[in-house]
A and B are shown apart, each in its own frame.
Chain A
Amino acid sequence: MKRRVVALAAFLAPAALAADPRDFGVPEPHGWLGTTSQWIQGVGLVFAALNLVLLVVLWRMVRRRGVTAASKAMLFGAIVVLPVAVLFLATAHGMSESMKTEACGACHIMDGHFTDLRNPKSDSLAAVHYKNRYIQENHCYTCHSDYGFTGTLGAKFAGLGHTYRNLTGHYELPLKVRVPYSNLRCLSCHGGAQNFLAKHDKDEIPKLMAGQDSCLDCHGPAHTPEKAAAPAEKQAMK
């Protein structure tokens, strides 16, 4: 019996590490009403459905009675007011969902990176951040986007390019970052941490800030997709 329990624990432990905290069984706080993202999605769907129903009703109304003042006023609501709200909500939902790790991992070409990230046995920098929950959510996006409005915009345009290249097959293996990875992305989280300050010389920090040394020199590799990739992909990577 005891052996079975140990075997089951050994089997479930990696799965638990790879799972989200919600999957782990942590209950939501009392009075939980959902996340902002879930509300945006729900309200967006309700508005879009209402808008479609209104359009159908108006279409039939105009066909039966012709264009009246009342139908024109309702058309303004159905073609301008409600759709603008739906457009805003759907865009906000799309923007928020495209930041999720699953959105990056959805492309076949990212399989190796995605599997490596979620592999509890991997020691790559990304996997260490994922399995220890150093980053709570949007793991790829947190490290691969710059900060502020332009950073978000830049990441979205880069994502558009990734979608195009994935769709058309215009990419080269092994995948490489387009520009050298900026230490500032690491330092924006680790920079003020006591364990970082205790383990790094004061002379070292300005070099890291200036990009003369790379965090990855000591803490790399960032990803080990070749270890996680399927045999055919491994061949392609070589």
Chain B
Amino acid sequence: MSEPRNEAAKEAKALRFAAIATGVMLVLAIVLLIKETAYTFVVFMFLGPPLLALAAIALGWVILRELRSKKVF
């Protein structure tokens, strides 16, 4: 009984991480779009794409687990 609950907690954690990573990327993008300086641009270019990639990986992992649990593949 605790196994599915653990799985659900893991999924929720992954989704929370994905949402936070995307949120941070969005804040960096807003700062860059409002006030472009060499520093805001460099910070956005170094952190923005990796954060979004990590968020997409976390979301992909959740979707993959669900598809597997439903035995889609």
Interface size on B, residues (CB 8 A): 35
With A51-B22, A75-B18 known as contacts, the answer to whether A163 contacts B38 (CB < 8 A) is yes
Chain B residue with the shortest CB-CB distance to A97: B36
Cα(A55)–Cα(B38), bound, Å: 28
Chain A residues within CB distance 8 Å of chain B: 41, 44-45, 48-49, 51-52, 55, 58-59, 62, 66-67, 72, 75-76, 78-80, 83-84, 86-87, 89-91, 93-94, 97-98, 103, 106-107, 159-160, 162-163, 166-167
* Minimum CB–CB distance for B57 against chain A, Å: 10
With A55-B22, A62-B15 known as contacts, the answer to whether A106 contacts B37 (CB < 8 A) is yes
**A67, B41: Cβ atoms closer than 8 Å:** no
Interface centre among B11, B18, B19, B56 (most CB of A within 10 A): B19
Q: Which residues 3-54 in B have Cβ within 8 Å of A in the complex?
A: 8, 11-12, 15, 18-19, 22-23, 25-30, 32-34, 36-42, 44-45, 48-49, 52
Chain B binding surface, main DSSP class: helix
Which one, B12, B41, B59, B66, contacts A94 given CB within 8 A? Answer: B41
Chain B residue with the shortest CB-CB distance to A167: B39
Say yes or no for B63: interface residue by CB 8 A criterion. yes
Interchain residue pairs with CB less than 8 A apart (19): A48-B26, A49-B30, A52-B23, A52-B27, A62-B15, A76-B63, A79-B18, A79-B19, A83-B52, A87-B29, A90-B33, A91-B48, A93-B33, A94-B45, A98-B41, A103-B36, A103-B38, A107-B38, A167-B39
* Minimum CB–CB distance for A54 against chain B, Å: 10
**B38, A98: Cβ atoms closer than 8 Å:** yes
With A55-B22, A55-B23, A72-B63 known as contacts, the answer to whether A91 contacts B38 (CB < 8 A) is no
With A51-B26, A90-B32, A98-B36 known as contacts, the answer to whether A59 contacts B52 (CB < 8 A) is no
Contacts of B40 in A (CB 8 A): 94
With A45-B30, A94-B41, A163-B42 known as contacts, the answer to whether A83 contacts B36 (CB < 8 A) is no
Which one, B33, B55, B66, contacts A48 given CB within 8 A? Answer: B33
Cα(A114)–Cα(B8), bound, Å: 58
**B25, A67: Cβ atoms closer than 8 Å:** no
Cα(A41)–Cα(B55), bound, Å: 24
Cα(A141)–Cα(B49), bound, Å: 25
Chain B residue with the shortest CB-CB distance to A43: B33
* Minimum CB–CB distance for B49 against chain A, Å: 6
Cα(A200)–Cα(B11), bound, Å: 72
Which one, A45, A58, A66, A166, contacts B34 given CB within 8 A? Answer: A45
Q: Give me 8 other A-B pairs in contact (C-beta within 8 A), A80-B56, A90-B44 excluded.
A: A45-B33, A52-B26, A59-B19, A67-B11, A84-B52, A90-B48, A91-B48, A98-B36
Chain A residue with the shortest CB-CB distance to B25: A83
Contacts of B37 in A (CB 8 A): 103, 106
Cα(A98)–Cα(B39), bound, Å: 11
**B22, A78: Cβ atoms closer than 8 Å:** yes
